[in-house]
Structure 1
Amino acid sequence: MTTLVIGANGQIGKQFCELAQQAGTPIKAMIRSDEQVPWFKERGIDTVIADLEGDFEHAFEGCDQVVFTAGSGPHTGPDKTLLIDLYGAIRAADIAKQKGISRYLMISAIRAENPMEAPEKLRPYMAAKFAADAHLRNSDVPYVILKPGRLTDDAASQQFASSIDEAGDNQISRANVAHALHFALQSSVSNQEFALLDGERSIEEVIK
Structure 2
Amino acid sequence: MKKTLIIGASGHIGKMTTKQLLADGKAVIALVRDKNKLADICSDKLQIVEGDLEKDFSQPFADCDQVIFSAGSGGKTGADKTMLIDLWAACKAVDYAKSANVSHFVMVSSIGADDPSQGTETMKPYMIAKHMADEHLIRSGLNYTIFRPGLLTDNNATGKMQTTRPGNNEDMTINREDVANTLTYAVGKSELGGKIFELFNGDKNLADILN
Asked if the contact 1:66/1:105 (under 8 Å) is kept, the reply is yes
Q: Give the Cα separation in 1 of the matches to 2:69 and 2:180.
A: 12
Q: Give the Cα separation in 1 of the matches to 2:43 and 2:4.
A: 19
Change (3 A) 1:21 1:75: same
What is aligned with 1:181? 183
What is aligned with 1:88? 89
Q: Give the Cα separation in 1 of the matches to 2:99 and 2:47.
A: 23
What is aligned with 2:150? 149
What is aligned with 1:55? 56
1:61 CA displacement: 2.7
What is aligned with 1:127? 128
Change (3 A) 1:150 1:92: same
1:192 pairs with 2:195:
yes
Q: Give the Cα separation in 2 of the matches to 1:148 and 1:43.
A: 31
What is aligned with 1:33? 34
Gapped regions of structure 1 (runs ≥ 5): none
Q: 1:170 aligns with which of 169, 172, 189?
A: 172
Identity of aligned residues (%): 38
What is aligned with 2:73? 72
Letter in 2 for 1:178: A
Point out the more displaced range, 9-18 or 42-51. Answer: 42-51
Q: Give the Cα separation in 1 of the matches to 2:149 and 2:79.
A: 21
Q: Give the Cα separation in 1 of the matches to 2:144 and 2:181.
A: 18
Aligned length: 208
Q: Deviations over 1:35-79 (max 9, x none)?
A: 334133479632111111112111213111110000000000011
Q: Give the Cα separation in 2 of the matches to 1:86 and 1:65.
A: 20
Structure with greater helix percent: 1
Change (3 A) 1:59 1:198: same
User: What is the root-mean-square deviation of aligned Cα atoms in Å?
Assistant: 1.7
1:187 CA displacement: 2.0
What is aligned with 1:108? 109
What is aligned with 2:208? 205
1:26 CA displacement: 1.4
Q: Give the Cα separation in 1 of the matches to 2:118 and 2:13.
A: 24
1:185 CA displacement: 1.2
**TM-score between both structures, scaled by the size of structure 2:** 0.93
Secondary structure in 1 matching 2:122? helix
Gapped regions of structure 2 (runs ≥ 5): none
Q: Give the Cα separation in 2 of the matches to 1:115 and 1:126.
A: 5
Point out the more displaced range, 159-168 or 107-116. Answer: 159-168
Change (3 A) 1:103 1:42: closer
Q: Give the Cα separation in 2 of the matches to 1:41 and 1:118.
A: 41
Q: Give the Cα separation in 2 of the matches to 1:157 and 1:15.
A: 15
**TM-score between both structures, scaled by the size of structure 1:** 0.95
Asked if the contact 1:166/1:199 (under 8 Å) is kept, the reply is no
Q: Give the Cα separation in 2 of the matches to 1:192 and 1:207.
A: 9
Q: Give the Cα separation in 2 of the matches to 1:4 and 1:153.
A: 24
